[in-house]
Amino acid sequence: MASCCSQKGPASVAPVTRPGEWLRLGLAAVVAAQSMVLGMAINLTPPGPGVRLWIHIVLAVSALAVFLLAGLPIARAALGELRRGRIVVEQLFLLGIAGAFLASLQSTFVGSGSVYYEVVAVLVAIYTLGTVLGDRRRSELLRAVEALGAEFSRCTRISCCGERQEIPVAEVRTGDRVLVRPGDGIPVDGRLVEGEALVRESALNGEPYPVVRRSGDAVLAGSHLLDGAVVIEATVPGGERRLDSLLGAVREARLHPAPVQREADRIVAWFLPVVLAVAAGTWIYWTRQAGWGVGTFHALAVLLVACPCAMGLATPIGVWSALAALARRGLVCRSGEMIERIARCDFVVFDKTGTLSEEEPGIVDFVTAPGVDRGMVRRIAGAVELFSNHPIGRALAAWAPLAEAMPSVDSVRMLPGIGLEARVVDRGEVVAVRLGNSGVLGPGAGAGVLEVMLHRDAAQGQRVYICFGDRVVGLVLLRERLRESVPAVLDRLRALGMRAEVLTGDRTAPVLADLALPVATGLSPEAKAARVVALAGEGRRVLFVGDGINDAPAMERAEAAIAVGSGAELARESAGAILLAPDLETVAEAVTVCRSTVRAIRGNLLFAAAYNTAGIGLAASGLLHPVAAALVMFLSSGTVTWRALRHTRKLGVGEPEAQVGLSEGEMVVSGAGEVRVAA
């Protein structure tokens, strides 16, 4: 062995938390609410000169404190992007904040006019909420990566002295031997040197059935041992496993996400320069006509009426509506950005095992030996399976009879790599039962007779033999089954103008033979990701739908990704949306809803820009008092809200149907807020 009898403490994973961000957001929201009440009161009923000054000072200090506490990221982002030559919505936020604060300062020092200090706190609170939730989404994925790594981070090494040591996997060197017990995850890449067992590898390679691994066979970290204990000799160091490369690929892709330009930024790219030019022109004109005070007054009115509240509402209200509509259909989106991402997709890539096919194999044929009571075989096999979660016969548990007719199962014992055996008492008769692969067959068991009896179209699949004593009495053929909704979802996707294909790690895909669908088999996780990148290079925007650990790198490279809710945790955290409903037609419905929502958001943004442009024109001409400018701003926001809610009704949000697939308190997060949907 390469190393012996050394041990270090376990590596710790630091939690990613940002309580300070939530505290700043809470303070900004409280100050914004109080400032709005106080500002409205003094604007409607101006107090006396002495009291007025002190109230203005309190409001100004509050606004400045909120900006220093939570608004500095707006300034940094706006100025940073400006230095890079980009115009973004943060600059419009900063412009609105500056306009409101400067206009209020003028009123404070002049001694007349309205104040708008509360606008500063409101805009800062809206922006901070979006950034905090975005940061939380990123940290959740990183925590999921670390959790999966931690699950396979320790092992039991057998030293050269024969001692068993619990050590971090990072200390494993090539040639070290590791003991893995039944039910544990395999922590190293290596080969079996002792024992044999069933190993579930579907999360890594898409193989639908557990496979038997014997001495000399290669195994990968991230697989799970289902029965039997084995000793594995590491063929690579503990830090160079294939699992480590997969987790690294997810981390790297998350740190360098595909750029998605928001609709608001596209409007701001031309709207902000227009606002600045008009404000400057207004100041120059009115300064020449009536002095710098009047010029500043009207210029600040231009800036105030250009406050991005309407544009800020157009996107989140539309996004929240779409998120709620998708949640009703059983698709939970983690980020509002997913709405635009899904809408832009024109190509769908499906994983096979657990995505297009059912998670567990189904019974496609069942035959019994001549003269054997078929009902008795079903009854006994079903009863045995109720006392075991062994994967090869899980489908047989549905055969278990009602309690009053249930045979008595005295004992159940695992046969590693083969199946299980049990002692059953059925209606006074004692039966020794064995279920499993061909390893349960004894000499002269008579399995050939049953093979001939199988339906001619049922040649492929996993065989489960049922033996009473030394005689085989039944043969069950298990095979992958397509989800019932697969043909319908493919037809709907074609109607939407989207092409589709399947990428699977399974070596064969007979279950897909009847579908007119391109299928690539035997793909590694890296090959799946490379195919997605290649499609992107051809100008395709890929929506990836999968469920396994081996899908995570491809999901991160795709324009958008949907994870099946019953799949691996890393897949769920890598994807931007989780499909909780069993119906795959939800994928096609999501594309329809997202495209409709993006069209509505684009219309609202253009409306808000046109409305604000008209208001800017009135302010620049001196016809719009700052108080009226504030009213115009709020009226624009109200109109955009009404248009967005009208689109909400079209999506069917708020109808009395139950929330599909969501449990109480399930949270759907958008880029600017959150929606809680409870059953």
Q: Could you read off the pLDDT of 123-152 as tens digits, one per residue?
A: 777 677 656 655 554 565 566 667 767 888
Among 237, 196, 241, smallest CA distance to 217 is for: 196
Helix (H, G, I), strand (E, B) or coil at 351: coil
Distance CA 462, CA 464 (A): 7
Residues 6 or more apart in contact with residue 469 via CB below 8 angstroms:
431, 432
If you compute the radius of gyration of the chain from its CA atoms, what whole number of angstroms results? Answer: 32
Options 176, 189, 227, 351, the catalytic residue: 351
| Secondary structure (H, E, C), 23-84 | HHHHHHHHHHHHHHHHHHHHHHCCCCHHHHHHHHHHHHHHHHHHHHHHHHHHHHHHHHHHHC
User: Which pLDDT band, with edges at 50, 70 and 90, does 202 fall under?
Assistant: low
Helix (H, G, I), strand (E, B) or coil at 312: helix
Q: What share of the chain is helix, strand, coil (3-state, %, to 5)?
A: 50, 20, 30
Taking 80 as the threshold, does the pLDDT of residue 552 lie above it? yes
Contact 522, 539 (CB under 8 A): no
Taking 60 as the threshold, does the pLDDT of residue 379 lie above it? yes
* Model pLDDT for residues 235-250, shown as the tens digit of each residue: 999 888 877 766 765 5
Distance CA 408, CA 306 (A): 78
Residue 12: inside a domain, yes or no? no
Q: Do 450 and 502 sit in the same domain of this protein? A: no
Tell me the C-alpha to C-alpha distance, in Å, between residue 609 and each of 94, 269, 449.
17, 12, 78
Residue 348: inside a domain, yes or no? yes
User: Which pLDDT band, with edges at 50, 70 and 90, does 572 fall under?
Assistant: confident
Average pLDDT over residues 290-319: 69
- Residue with the larger pLDDT of the pair 430 and 508: 430
Tell me the C-alpha to C-alpha distance, in Å, between residue 317 and each of 53, 85, 578, 674.
38, 29, 21, 11
pLDDT at 85: 79
Distance CA 203, CA 186 (A): 12
243-277 burial, b for 16+ CB within 10 Å, e for fewer?
bbebbebbbebbeeeeeeebbbbebbeebbeebee
Residue 218: beta bridge partners?
191
Residue 449: inside a domain, yes or no? yes
618: exposed, middle or buried (Cβ count in 10 Å: 0-12, 13-18, 19+): middle
Tokens read off for 46: 């101006």
Output the average pLDDT for the chain: 76
Contact 332, 668 (CB under 8 A): yes
Q: Do 492 and 470 sit in the same domain of this protein? A: no
Tokens read off for 537: 């290079």
Question: pLDDT over 70 for what percent of the chain?
Answer: 71
Q: Do 454 and 515 sit in the same domain of this protein? A: no
196, 224, 254: which is the final residue of a domain? 254
Q: What is the CATH number of the domain that holds 349?
A: 3.40.50.1000
* Model pLDDT for residues 218-239, shown as the tens digit of each residue: 888 888 888 778 999 999 998 8
Residue 380: inside a domain, yes or no? yes
For residue 189, indicate whether it is catalytic: no
352: exposed, middle or buried (Cβ count in 10 Å: 0-12, 13-18, 19+): buried
Q: Do 217 and 165 sit in the same domain of this protein? A: yes
Distance CA 550, CA 558 (A): 14
207, 222, 254: which is the final residue of a domain? 254
Taking 80 as the threshold, does the pLDDT of residue 403 lie above it? no
Taking 50 as the threshold, does the pLDDT of residue 413 lie above it? yes
Helix or strand (DSSP H, E) at 465: strand 462-468
Q: Do 454 and 519 sit in the same domain of this protein? A: no
Residue 531: inside a domain, yes or no? yes
Q: Do 451 and 367 sit in the same domain of this protein? A: yes
pLDDT at 91: 77
Question: Going by DSSP bridges, is the β-strand pair 542-546/347-350 parallel, antiparallel, or unpaired?
Answer: parallel
pLDDT at 355: 86
Among 377, 286, 337, smallest CA distance to 577 is for: 337
Among 247, 324, 257, 136, smallest CA distance to 571 is for: 247
Q: Where in the sequence is the domain holding 518, given as residue range(s)? A: 337-359+484-589
Q: Do 412 and 557 sit in the same domain of this protein? A: no
Residue 166: beta bridge partners?
156
Distance CA 406, CA 85 (A): 75
Helix (H, G, I), strand (E, B) or coil at 404: helix
Alpha-carbon 658 to chain mean position: 22
**Amino acid sitting at position 583:** D
pLDDT at 264: 58
Q: Do 579 and 553 sit in the same domain of this protein? A: yes
Q: Do 415 and 548 sit in the same domain of this protein? A: no
Residue 19: inside a domain, yes or no? no
- Residue with the larger pLDDT of the pair 634 and 6: 634
Residues 6 or more apart in contact with residue 601 via CB below 8 angstroms:
263, 314, 315, 318, 319
pLDDT at 32: 64
The count of residues in the chain is 679
Look at 57-71, 176-190, 317-331 and tell me which has the smallest mean pLDDT. 317-331
**Amino acid sitting at position 234:** A
Look at 133-142, 169-178, 383-392, 458-467 and tell me which has the smallest mean pLDDT. 133-142
Taking 90 as the threshold, does the pLDDT of residue 538 lie above it? yes
Residue 545: inside a domain, yes or no? yes
Tell me the C-alpha to C-alpha distance, in Å, between residue 153 and each of 173, 231, 243.
14, 17, 11
Residue 537: inside a domain, yes or no? yes
Count CB neighbours of 36 within 10 A. 15
Taking 80 as the threshold, does the pLDDT of residue 564 lie above it? yes
Distance CA 392, CA 352 (A): 20
**Amino acid sitting at position 595:** R
Distance CA 88, CA 603 (A): 19
Taking 50 as the threshold, does the pLDDT of residue 588 lie above it? yes
Q: What is the DSSP string of 171-233?
A: G--TT-EEEE-TTPBP-S-EEEEE--EEEE-HHHH--SS-EEE-TT-EE-BTBEE-SS-EEEE
Q: Do 576 and 559 sit in the same domain of this protein? A: yes
Average pLDDT over residues 30-47: 64
446, 479, 512: which is the final residue of a domain? 479
Angle of CA points 48, 53, 56, to nearest 5°: 115
Q: What is the CATH number of the domain that holds 428?
A: 3.40.1110.10
Distance CA 218, CA 208 (A): 18
The count of structural domains within the chain is: 3
Q: Do 543 and 525 sit in the same domain of this protein? A: yes
Q: Do 398 and 492 sit in the same domain of this protein? A: no
Q: What is the CATH number of the domain that holds 196?
A: 2.70.150.10
Residues 6 or more apart in contact with residue 264 via CB below 8 angstroms:
89, 308, 311, 312, 314, 315, 605
